[in-house]
C-alpha cells in the first residue's frame, strides 16, 4: 500500500511562477474548459499588452497580459483550457500547479452558460484547491438564443463564491468582473466556497489523512483536504509536485503512510478501492453539479437538448459511431488530397511564370549565371515548390478539422476511441 518515489521529469515549481509576478500589483489566473470564450475574455481584458511563451520545461504555450484598473496593474495568465485538473494531461498538470502553487491573487473560472452542468466539474475541483475564486458565466448571449436562463445570484449562493455574467465580445460586460476581482484582491470580498460533500465513508477516510497531515506538516489549512484526497488516490506525479512545491515529504512520512493505509482499508470494507476511487469522487461532483443546475437554470424549451442527445447516440453508438467517423475522416482526407491538386497546379504555374520573369530580369541586369542559378533555380524554386505542395492541403485540412472541433464532433471521436487508445497504452 505504500507509495514510492519515482523520477517524474521536469515539473512546474513555485520558482517557475516567480517571474510572472514582477512588475504587477496582482496576478490573476484565467481557467476554463476549451471553447468557453476564455481567450476572448483574456484578449478583451489585456488588449495588445500580451506576451506568449512556453511554461518552463513544457511544450504547452502560455499567454500573459496586463490590464490597468483603478491605477493598479493586473497580470492575467491564460491557463491552458482543460476539462479537469486531475492531472491526466500536461495541460491539466499546468492548470492544477498554477492554481495551487502559483499563488495567484485570484482565479477566474470561465464557464459556458449553455452547458453549465458540464463546466461545474472544473469549478468544484478548483474550489478544493483555492478559496480565491470568481466564476465567470460567459456566453450569456448564446444561452439567451437557446432560451436558457441562469439565476446568477442563486448560483453564487449555492457555490459560496462570486458569480459574474459576461458576454466576452462586449468589453462593457467585463466591468463587473474587474470590479469583483478588485474587491477580492483588496480583501473587501471574501469568497467562502461550499465544497462537495462526499459519501460518509469517503469523508471518514479523508478525515484520517487530514488529521495526520495537520499533525505532521505546517500546511495551508485550506489545502489539507485536497492533499488528503490526492494522498489516498496515490498518484505519484501529483504527490511529487506537492512535495517539491510545499517542501514536505509525503511519500516517506510514516504517520501519513499509516493514515493512508487505514483509509484504504476503511474504503475497501465498503468496496471502494484505488481502481474505482476516482469514479466515486467524480460521480459525486457531477451529481452535485446536476443538483445545482436544476436549482439555478430555467429552460423555456424543456426539450432543448433532445436533438443533441439524439445526435450523440448516433455519433457515439458502437454500431454507427465508427462507420460515421471513418466516413467523415475519409471524406476529409479525400477532399484534402484531391482538392489540393487544383490550387497546387495553379501555384506551380504562377511561380513558374514569375521564375521566367526573374531569369529575364537577371539577364537584363547582366547577372552572373552562377548567381542567378543559385538564387532563382535554387532558393526561389525550392521555396515555391514547398509552398505549392504544402499550402493547399494545409489550407483545406486544418479549416475542416477546426469546423469539426467547433461542431463538437472531435470530442465525440475522442470519447469513442478512448477504450481503443487505452488498450494500445496511448493514454494515461
pLDDT score at 315:
82
Number of CB atoms found within 10 A of residue 419's CB: 10
272-277, Cβ contacts within 8 angstroms, sequence gap of 24 or more? 272/201, 272/202, 274/233, 274/234, 277/232, 277/233
Q: Taking the domains of the chain in order of start, what are their residue ranges?
A: 14-185, 200-272, 321-423
In this structure, are residues 114 and 35 in contact, taking their beta carbons and an 8 Å threshold?
no
pLDDT score at 49:
57
Structurally, what CATH architecture does the domain formed by 14-185 represent? 3-Layer(aba) Sandwich (3.40)
Nearest to 113 by CA among 58, 168, 162: 168
More confident residue, 156 or 413: 156
Q: pLDDT at residue 21 above 60?
A: yes
Q: pLDDT at residue 11 above 60?
A: no
C-alpha cell at 27: 496576478
Render pLDDT for 259-273 as a digit per residue (tens, 0 to 9): 999 999 999 998 888
pLDDT score at 46:
87
What is the rounded CA–CA span in Å between residue 99 and residue 288?
Answer: 22
3-state secondary structure of 9: coil
What is the rounded CA–CA span in Å between residue 86 and residue 254?
Answer: 25
pLDDT band at 93 (very low <50, low <70, confident <90, very high): confident
pLDDT score at 22:
65
Nearest to 203 by CA among 120, 272, 125, 124: 272
Nearest to 96 by CA among 124, 57, 126: 126
pLDDT score at 349:
94
Q: pLDDT at residue 395 above 70?
A: yes
Count CA atoms closer than 13 A to 48's CA, side-chain side: 0
Average pLDDT over every residue of 324-332 = 90
pTM above 0.75, yes or no: no
Average pLDDT over every residue of 48-57 = 54
The gap from C-alpha 171 to its chain's centroid, in whole angstroms, comes to 23
What is the rounded CA–CA span in Å between residue 101 and residue 97?
Answer: 5
pLDDT score at 5:
40
Task: For residue 20, give the DSSP letter.
Answer: G
The residues with which 26 forms a beta bridge, in sequence order, are 74
Q: Which whole-number Å values give the CA distances from 306 to 128, 206, 301, 372, in the listed order?
A: 33, 39, 10, 66
More confident residue, 96 or 15: 96
Buried-exposed string 151-170: b where 16+ CB fall within 10 A, e elsewhere: ebeebbebbebbbbbbbbee
pLDDT band at 60 (very low <50, low <70, confident <90, very high): low
For 53, list phi and psi in degrees, rounded to 5.
Answer: -155, -160
pLDDT score at 10:
38
pLDDT score at 391:
93
In this structure, are residues 106 and 29 in contact, taking their beta carbons and an 8 Å threshold?
yes
Q: pLDDT at residue 304 above 60?
A: no
In this structure, are residues 233 and 85 in contact, taking their beta carbons and an 8 Å threshold?
no
Q: pLDDT at residue 63 above 90?
A: no
pLDDT band at 34 (very low <50, low <70, confident <90, very high): confident
For 256, list phi and psi in degrees, rounded to 5.
Answer: -70, -45
Give the DSSP letter string of 135-202.
Answer: EEEE-HHHHHHTTEEE-HHHHHHHHTS-EEE--TT-GGGGHHHHHHHHHHHTTSS-----PPPPPHHH
Strand-pair category, 61-69 with 163-165: unpaired
* Residue 17, Cβ density class (10 Å: 0-12 exposed, 13-18 middle, ≥19 buried): buried
pLDDT band at 208 (very low <50, low <70, confident <90, very high): very high
What is the rounded CA–CA span in Å between residue 144 and residue 58?
Answer: 39
pLDDT band at 94 (very low <50, low <70, confident <90, very high): confident
Amino acid at each position: 500500500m505504500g507509495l514510492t518515489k519515482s523520477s517524474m521529469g521536469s515539473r512546474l515549481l513555485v520558482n517557475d511562477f516567480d517571474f510572472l509576478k514582477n512588475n504587477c500589483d496582482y496576478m490573476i489566473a484565467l481557467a476554463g474548459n476549451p471553447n468557453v470564450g476564455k481567450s476572448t475574455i483574456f484578449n478583451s481584458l489585456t488588449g495588445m499588452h500580451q506576451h506568449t511563451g512556453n511554461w518552463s520545461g513544457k511544450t504547452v504555450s502560455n499567454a500573459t497580459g496586463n490590464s490597468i484598473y483603478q491605477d493598479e496593474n493586473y497580470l492575467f495568465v491564460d491557463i491552458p483550457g482543460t476539462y479537469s485538473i486531475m492531472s491526466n494531461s500536461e495541460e491539466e498538470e499546468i492548470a492544477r500547479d498554477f492554481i495551487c502553487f502559483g499563488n495567484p491573487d485570484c482565479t477566474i473560472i470561465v464557464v459556458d452558460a449553455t452547458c453549465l452542468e458540464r463546466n461545474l466539474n472544473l469549478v468544484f475541483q478548483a474550489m478544493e484547491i483555492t478559496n480565491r475564486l470568481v466564476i465567470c458565466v460567459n456566453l450569456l448571449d448564446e444561452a439567451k438564443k437557446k432560451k436558457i436562463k441562469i439565476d446568477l445570484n442563486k448560483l453564487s449562493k449555492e457555490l459560496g463564491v462570486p458569480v459574474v455574467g459576461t458576454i466576452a465580445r462586449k468589453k462593457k460586460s467585463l466591468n463587473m468582473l474587474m470590479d469583483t476581482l478588485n474587491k477580492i484582491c483588496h480583501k473587501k470580498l471574501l469568497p467562502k466556497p461550499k465544497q462537495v460533500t462526499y459519501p460518509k465513508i469517503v469523508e471518514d477516510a479523508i478525515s484520517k489523512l487530514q488529521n495526520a497531515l495537520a499533525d505532521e506538516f505546517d500546511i495551508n489549512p485550506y489545502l489539507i483536504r485536497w492533499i488528503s484526497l490526492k494522498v489516498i488516490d496515490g498518484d505519484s506525479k501529483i504527490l511529487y509536485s506537492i512535495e517539491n512545491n510545499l517542501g514536505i515529504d509525503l511519500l516517506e512520512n510514516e504517520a501519513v503512510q499509516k493514515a493512508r493505509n487505514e483509509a484504504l482499508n476503511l474504503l475497501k470494507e465498503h468496496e471502494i478501492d484505488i481502481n474505482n476511487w476516482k469514479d466515486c469522487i467524480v460521480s459525486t461532483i457531477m451529481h452535485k453539479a446536476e443538483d445545482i443546475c436544476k436549482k439555478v437554470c430555467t429552460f423555456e424549451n424543456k426539450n432543448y437538448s433532445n436533438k443533441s442527445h439524439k445526435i450523440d447516440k448516433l455519433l457515439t453508438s458502437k454500431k454507427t459511431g465508427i462507420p460515421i467517423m471513418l466516413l467523415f475522416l475519409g471524406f476529409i482526407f479525400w477532399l484534402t488530397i484531391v482538392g489540393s491538386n487544383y490550387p497546387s497546379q495553379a501555384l506551380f504555374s504562377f511561380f513558374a511564370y514569375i521564375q521566367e520573369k526573374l531569369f529575364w530580369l537577371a539577364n537584363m541586369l547582366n547577372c552572373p549565371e552562377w548567381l542567378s542559378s543559385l538564387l532563382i533555380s535554387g532558393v526561389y524554386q525550392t521555396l515555391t515548390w514547398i509552398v505549392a505542395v504544402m499550402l493547399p492541403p494545409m489550407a483545406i485540412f486544418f479549416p475542416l478539422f477546426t469546423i469539426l472541433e467547433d461542431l463538437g464532433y472531435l470530442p465525440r471521436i475522442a470519447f469513442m476511441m478512448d477504450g481503443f487508445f487505452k488498450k494500445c497504452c496511448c493514454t494515461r
